[in-house]
């Protein structure tokens, strides 16, 4: 697993996510997504995971949020179909 500077990466991920949403009605959703993305980024501490999270559309981020909140501790991003497909294409 590649290690990276998580502090600067988290800021970049947040900026990328905020750039994808500008409607005030989505502020609460965006805040929740920011929190989940930051938690996942810290948990896995992997450049590939960070790049995958940055590549997600707003709809994908909402789906990710639902998966994380519903599956809780049984959710594993490294084993998710979306991440594995992305990894195959991008590595």
Whole-number pLDDT of residue 31: 76
Whole-number pLDDT of residue 76: 95
If we measure between CA atoms, which residue out of 34, 25, 90 comes closest to residue 62?
34
Whole-number pLDDT of residue 19: 56
What's the chain's Rg over C-alpha atoms?
Answer: 13
For the stretch 1-16, pLDDT in tens is 444 444 455 556 655 5
Domain count for the chain? 1
Whether 61 maps to a domain, the answer reads yes
Q: How far is CA 36 from each of CA 42, 53, 91, rounded to the nearest angstrom?
A: 10, 10, 25
Whole-number pLDDT of residue 11: 52
Whether 36 maps to a domain, the answer reads yes
**pTM greater than 0.85:** no
Distance from C-alpha of 50 to C-alpha of 59, rounded to nearest angstrom? 17
Whether 1 maps to a domain, the answer reads no
For the stretch 44-91, pLDDT in tens is 999 999 999 999 999 999 999 999 999 999 999 999 999 999 999 998
């Amino acid at each position: 697993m590649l290690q990276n500077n998580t502090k600067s990466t988290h800021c970049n991920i947040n900026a990328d996510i905020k750039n994808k949403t500008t409607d005030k009605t989505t502020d609460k959703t965006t805040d929740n997504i920011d929190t989940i993305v930051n938690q996942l980024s810290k948990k896995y501490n992997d450049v590939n995971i960070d790049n995958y999270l940055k590549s997600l559309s707003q709809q994908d981020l909402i789906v990710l949020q639902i998966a994380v909140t519903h599956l809780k501790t049984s959710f594993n991003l490294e084993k998710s179909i979306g991440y594995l497909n992305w990894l195959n294409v991008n590595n």
